[in-house]
Amino acid sequence: MALDPSNGYIAARDLQDLNESSLLPIFNVLPVQLQFSIASDFVAAQVANNVLVIALANGKIIRIDLDNPADIDVDIDLPKKTSEVGVIRRMFLDPTASHLVIGTALGENYYLHTQSRQPRPLSRLRGVSIESIGWSPSLPTSSTREILIGASDGNIYEGYIETATEFYRKEDKYLKLLQKVPDGPVTGLWVDVIPSSAGADIRRVLIATQKRLLHLVGKIGRVGHEGGGSIYTRLFESEQPSSHEISKIGPTPSSALVVSPDVPVSANPEDLEPDRNFAWLSSQGAFYGRLLTSPAAPALGAKVFGEGKLLPRSQLPASDSSGGRKNVSQDQVDAIALTQWHILHLVGGRIIAVNRLDDRVIFDQAVLDPGQQALGLFADQQKNTFWLFTTQEIYEIVVNDEDRDVWKVMLQTEHFDAALRYAKSPAQKDSVATASGDYLISKGNYLEAAGVYGKSTKPFEQVALTFVDHDQQDALRKYLLTKITTYKKSSVMQNIMIATWLVEIFMSKLNSLDDTIITKAELSETLSPGQTKDQLDTIRTEFQNFVKKYKSDLDRKTTYDIISSHGREDELLFFATAVNDYNFVISYWIQRERWKEALDVLKRQTEPEMFYRYSSGLITHVATDLVDILMRHPDLEPRNLIPALLGYDRNFKGPLSQNQAVRYLLHVINHLQSTDAAVHNTLISIYAFHPSKDETALLNYLELQGDEPSFDSDFALRLCIQHNRVQSCVHIYSTMGQYLQAVELALAHSEIDLASVIADRPAFNPALQKKLWLAIAKKVISQSNGIKTAIEFLKRCNLLKIEDLIPFFPDFVVIDDFKEEICAALEDYSRNIDGLKKEMDESSQTAANIKVDIAALDHRYAIVEPGEKCYVCTLPLLSRQFFVFPCQHAFHSDCLGKKVLEQVGVSKGKRIRELQMSISKGMVTGVKRDAAVAELDGLVASAW
């Protein structure tokens, strides 16, 4: 057989890619143009997983991969000639296109694996006329696993077929008769798995005959290994099937069982997966329904059949060859196939598609010529493609956007939820929403209608007035909440208006519920006060969620006014908190003198301005708690809190240890190491202004500041003087170095001990220290009742003598009062005079020794060896005038002069140059020259 695929195997398969899907009909029958010559007609065909398998009358089998049209296998032949085994009658291809079972007219059966090119005989099935196969739901596998085989005599077998390469092994491992159906041929079998929460392996089996459709569900058996034995025996023996039976079989009975293909994978996650459906073709028509999966019990069959519907043959359109009407009963439905939403009928040479949701015919096209014989309709279970085979031609039934009108059908049948799910475009969804809302309003379901209307484009005014006229505030609230979600951020005015209206509705609802609870009345006949309280909590939560989500769409002032007009304090504060208007919240609590609530809000703030603004109002009433909060915020600028601290201090009447302003300032100074003069001056002013006479706290602070204080000393001094803080003033004078003023101030207030402490401090200046002690002595003597007492006190200072004190005593003082002191002073003078005499004698002796040494210098000499050299130029020393030092170093006079000039100062160097020039040029003679030479030698020698 010659096969030429060069021209392409499908002429119009890609038409759907060239047109807008919305403009194409849902179904389109396109011929597949196979350019090859055939020796005989097609006798059987199958398609699965994009693989076409065609059997020819001469026993040839053609396998075509639609994904790769050039991959065509035509060299497949039965092991025996057709004259021996008969013409190929039926072929059965599993959904994965891995396993092919071939049956001939003489009862011979063969098996062909996808990777094999040689069919192998199935000896156990010899003589069995196979009508249907129920493939294992566990495919794909290398073997068929356990399959069900329906025969023309009504027998149902379980078999297991695998590829065998050894000549002595059989492909069919076992064959077991499970049941015999008395109604004739088993025209259809289907097996699938039923999900079970218990984890049991539960399977469903559908069995179709010409008269009955059986539904069997239950547990299957288990075997030790694959192919080790029957697994369906338990199911068939222990379970009773549910049955759907027709009352009368037509003269030309047709029977077939088909199942809808696998749902195609969608790129859109919102696309819904339709249920898998079945259809049973009988002489009365097509009985179809959903393959339900629950309950996983024998009652499942009754439920499946109970929900099924019959599409009678009489509902299918009929026509004669001339296009006129004829008796419908004369039409023979040759085959059917299920798509996701439609039932395809092959009636004569026509393809008729019926929408299984509303039994409406949506496609009716004559495909075959009169007298042309069709082999049947076939569906690719995995690829969702549909095919029509004749004895010489192949047609593909192309499905284009099949679910486009599903939403319309759902809408017409008032299945609005389903219609909305299947609606794709915004216009479709809007139509469903509008119709659904109108229907619900007519039924009085206002709340449900509100949610639906909110997603529609029905005029806002109409919907709102409908709810207002019927006094359905809850429905109106739900509608507005739904509607606001449909507007974009750019629709500012719409969002603001709806959000503001919702606030008003929420407040009215909350007040109504509160009134109901207070009066203990029933809101309605079915709502008790307890339920009303639960509803109040629900509405309040709903309002809070609304505010959180749409706070940006609410005008603050307007919202405050609305909520305030209804007296809803909690909601008012919640809104202010939600929009971060903490100024409003704190001001609200302060105005109502709810200090604790105000602090609770303040402690959650991080903005420093909030603390500066409200500290003045809070510190007067909750000073301790406020200071605790302030101390936890080191980022605050303390000088901005000074007005609040001073205002608090003016009204504070307790001790300084309880003064919270002092506590905060000390924290800032001691822990935060603040050097801000304003902070320190504030603390000093609080200390100075306090009515207590105790200066301990102030003095402790001043002493901790040391000699380089952070406060303004002049300011502190003025305050301390103004409020008679003597000790503090004295300390400040002392730190300023004004010891005399400090002592005078202390003496002016008779603080003798304090003055004495200050007088000891300027130890670096004995004259000043003596002056300070003299001032103290004068004060002490003037205040002493007895001379001895004054003298005893003055013994504390070693700088003063008795003669320093005599001028301060009264004119008439008996010498006996300080006789001992005078005697002690005279004895000190005597000891001092003796010491001075001794020092004078030692000085005289030293001077005499110096004179002797000077006289000895005239007789000193040094020995110069003949070969000794100058330490500068290294030439013989005796070559010219030289100097010799006691250390034995010797230099020429001119060499030594040059060295001296490099090291001496400017004035001495200048003088040496002048003398050298005068001597060398003979500018001086005689005695002057000798004097000049002596001076020059003296300068050079002394400098070196």
Return the pLDDT at 558.
Answer: 93
Contact (Cβ atoms closer than 8 angstroms) between residue 154 and residue 180: yes
Tell me the average pLDDT across 518-536: 66
Burial class (CB in 10 A: 0-12, 13-18, 19+), 391: middle
Closest CA to 22 of 343, 366, 319, 425: 425
Residues facing residue 100 across a β-bridge: 93, 112
181-185, 532-536, 670-674, 915-919: least confident range: 915-919
Neighbours of 477 (CB within 10 A): 23
Q: Which residues contact 715 (CB under 8 A, 6 or more apart)?
A: 681, 684
Contact (Cβ atoms closer than 8 angstroms) between residue 619 and residue 647: yes
Contact (Cβ atoms closer than 8 angstroms) between residue 40 and residue 58: yes
Return the pLDDT at 109.
Answer: 94
What are the backbone angles phi and psi of residue 30, rounded to the nearest 5°? Answer: -120, 130
Name the pLDDT band for 497 (thresholds 50, 70, 90): very high
Q: Say what angle helices 426-442 and 446-453 make with each other, to 10 degrees.
A: 160
pLDDT at 601 over 50: yes
Tell me the average pLDDT across 308-316: 90
User: Residues 399, 401, 405, CA angle at the centre, nearest 5°?
Assistant: 115
DSSP-derived 3-state class of residue 521: coil
User: Tens of pLDDT along 653-700?
Assistant: 888 889 999 999 999 999 999 889 999 999 989 988 888 888 888 888
Name the pLDDT band for 329 (thresholds 50, 70, 90): very low
User: Tens of pLDDT along 347-404?
Assistant: 988 999 999 888 889 999 999 888 888 999 999 999 999 999 998 889 999 998 888 8
How does the average pLDDT of the chain come out, rounded?
Answer: 82
Return the pLDDT at 789.
Answer: 63
Return the pLDDT at 801.
Answer: 58
Return the pLDDT at 1.
Answer: 33
Residue 226 or 443, more confident: 443
Q: Which residues contact 4 (CB under 8 A, 6 or more apart)?
A: 35, 36
Tokens representing residue 733 in the block: 């004078």
Q: Which of 13-22, 162-171, 601-610, 665-674 ranks highest by mean pLDDT?
A: 665-674
Tokens representing residue 922 in the block: 């003979």
Contact (Cβ atoms closer than 8 angstroms) between residue 66 and residue 52: yes
Residues facing residue 73 across a β-bridge: 63
Residues facing residue 62 across a β-bridge: 54
Tell me the domain boundaries of the chain.
877-943
Name the pLDDT band for 138 (thresholds 50, 70, 90): confident
| 486-501 as b/e: b if 16+ CB within 10 A | eeeeeeeebbbebbbb
Cα 842 to Cα 837: distance, rounded to the nearest angstrom: 9
Cα 428 to Cα 738: distance, rounded to the nearest angstrom: 97
Cα 400 to Cα 21: distance, rounded to the nearest angstrom: 6
Tell me the average pLDDT across 322-339: 67
- What DSSP string runs through 184-210? S---EEEEEEEP-TT---EEEEEEE-S
Tell me the average pLDDT across 117-139: 91
> Which amino acid would we find at residue 668?
V
Omega prior to 295 cis, within 30 of 0? yes
Return the pLDDT at 89.
Answer: 93
217-221, 757-761, 840-844: least confident range: 757-761
Q: Say what angle helices 492-519 and 529-550 make with each other, to 10 degrees.
A: 160
User: Tens of pLDDT along 425-461?
Assistant: 788 888 888 887 888 888 888 888 888 888 888 888 8
Name the pLDDT band for 297 (thresholds 50, 70, 90): confident
Q: How many residues does the chain have?
A: 944
User: Tens of pLDDT along 541-590?
Assistant: 999 999 999 888 999 899 989 998 988 888 888 888 888 888 888 888 88
Say whether pTM exceeds 0.95: no
Residue 737 or 550, more confident: 550
Tell me the average pLDDT across 191-217: 90
Neighbours of 228 (CB within 10 A): 12
Cα 890 to Cα 880: distance, rounded to the nearest angstrom: 12
DSSP-derived 3-state class of residue 296: coil
